[in-house]
Structure 1
Amino acid sequence: MSESTVLALVGSLRADSHNRKLAEAIQLNAPEGVEIVIHESLGNIPFYNEDIDVEGQVPAAATALREAAGQADALLLVTPEHNGTMPASLKNAIDWLSRPFGAGALAGKPTAVVGTAFGQFGGVWAQDEARKAVGIAGARVLEDAKLAVPGSMVRFAETHPKDDAEVVEQIKELFGALAAVEPAGAAA
């Protein structure tokens, strides 16, 4: 993934989100030639509605998301677990990026899903649901690029993920899995 841009979508809208901090740690540990761009404002995108997904009516926040995803070489979804699944903000972003179906910004886009959650499994249910949704939406899901950090409320109460040696090592392993992936459009 040399000279690549990875767009990170953080499903938690909370300012002090552990998943936002995990995305920041990933950004700080990106190898040379890989830029991680954390997309802002998922909370400003209205719920997907085909009635407003027409030329001249698409909300500016949805247009900005589509443009950012279209320009990225890959996507990284960073999700907490809300009631056993991904948050509505992340699902909504996937819905906007999936349109028009088959030709949306997700079409063939290499996509990895990671996250942290309070539970003992680190939000794997939410991550599995996000992989399922983004795959159906047309993305090329990177099944080997995974990171689930359990116990976020305790683990990151006083420590930022960038300062957690185990998490940093897992981030490096994540980039190892991503390094073998060809950018969107390069796959045959």
Structure 2
Amino acid sequence: MSVRILALVGSLRAGSHNRQLAEAAVRHAPEGVEVIVFDGLAEVPFYNEDLDVVGQVPASATKLREAAASADAFLLFSPEYNGTMPAVLKNSIDWLSRPYGAGALSGKPVAVVGTAFGQYGGVWAQDDARKAAGIAGGVVLEDVKLSIPGSVTRFAELHPADDTEVVDGLVKTLASVAAKATPAAA
């Protein structure tokens, strides 16, 4: 039985290095681990309780919640925008935190990784994402971290999937997340 890890990428940019990092996680997932990158965060409206009404939840938010419900764990990829996580990633956490106490993140392992241009690789944003995911009910793996600095220069000509150090870090991260996950019955 495979452990399913849902990857949420906090950058919508076509050439996003964090998107490339998520692609590398898919490509190099260890045996028994399946990484699924969620497409569609750009279509999910900002969380609003007026929209979150049974029978009226926007289709894009329902799709996100269904993907999250079928996941055993989460891997959030966060760049750093103005010293914090991007709105699209925070918004996905907000949608997955509801209904209160029973959201799709509730009780499932969550790790946060990422890359950014700065010298610390986006650690402030990643710390904020960990905080939000934990408050939303996720079991944040505080000791599972991967922050890759200098993304613009490091990945100018090399895809993260071809960077040996990055791949090693991703494989270790995925193995740690998988070890904490309880696979759903098929």
The TM-score with structure 1 as length reference comes to 0.94
Q: Distance in 2 between matches of 1:182 and 1:34?
A: 10
Distance in 2 separating the partners of 1:95 and 1:184: 24
Q: Show the counterpart of 2:157.
A: 158
2:46 is matched with which residue? 47
Residue 109 of structure 1, CA deviation: 1.2
1:82 alignment counterpart: 81
2:105 aligns with 106
**Partners of 1:38 and 1:177 in 2: CA distance:** 18
User: Would you say the 8 A contact 1:80–1:117 is kept in 2?
Assistant: yes
Equivalent-residue separation in structure 2 for 1:4 and 1:180 (angstroms)? 9
Q: Distance in 2 between matches of 1:161 and 1:14?
A: 16
**Could you tell me whether the CA contact under 8 Å between 2:4 and 2:34 is conserved in 1?**
yes
5+ residue gaps in structure 1? none
CA distance in 1, matches of 2:48, 2:102: 17
Alignment check: 8 A CA contact 2:30 2:175 kept:
no
Deviation at 1:177, TM superposition (A): 2.1
SS in 2 for 1:131: helix
Structure 2 distance, partners of 1:153, 1:72, is: 31
Contact 1:147 1:170 in 2 (8 A): yes
Are the equivalent residues in 2 in contact too, given 1:48–1:92 (CA < 8 A)? yes
Q: Residues 3-25 of structure 1: CA distance to partner in whole angstroms, max 9, x if unpaired?
A: 11100000000011000000001
SS at match of 2:180: coil
Q: Which residue pairs with 2:24 in the alignment?
A: 25
The structural deviation recorded for 1:183 is 2.0
Is it true that 1:142 corresponds to 2:121 in the alignment?
Answer: no
4+ runs of 1 displaced by more than 6 Å? Answer: none
Aligned residue in 2 for 1:180? 179
Q: Could you give the per-residue CA deviations for residues 142-164 of structure 1, whole angstroms, max 9, x where no partner exists?
A: 11221110000000011100111
Query: Displacement of 1:180 after TM fit?
Result: 2.7
The letter of the residue matching 1:20 is: R
Going from structure 1 to structure 2, the CA distance change for 1:38 and 1:28 (only over 3 Å counts) comes to same
Please state how far the C-alpha of 1:181 moved relative to its aligned partner.
1.0
Q: CA RMSD in A?
A: 1.5
Structure 2 CA distance, aligned partners of 1:146 and 1:183? 20
On the 8 A contact 2:3/2:183 being kept in 1, the answer is no
Once residues 184 and 144 of structure 1 are traced to their aligned partners in structure 2, the CA distance between those partners, rounded to angstroms, is 21
Say if 2:79 and 2:125, in contact at 8 Å, map to a contact too: yes
**CA-to-partner distance for each residue in 1:26-63, whole Å, 9 max, x for gaps?**
11110111110000010100000000100121110000
Pick which of 171-180 and 53-62 moved more.
171-180
Q: TM (normalized to structure 2)?
A: 0.95
Q: Percent identity?
A: 66
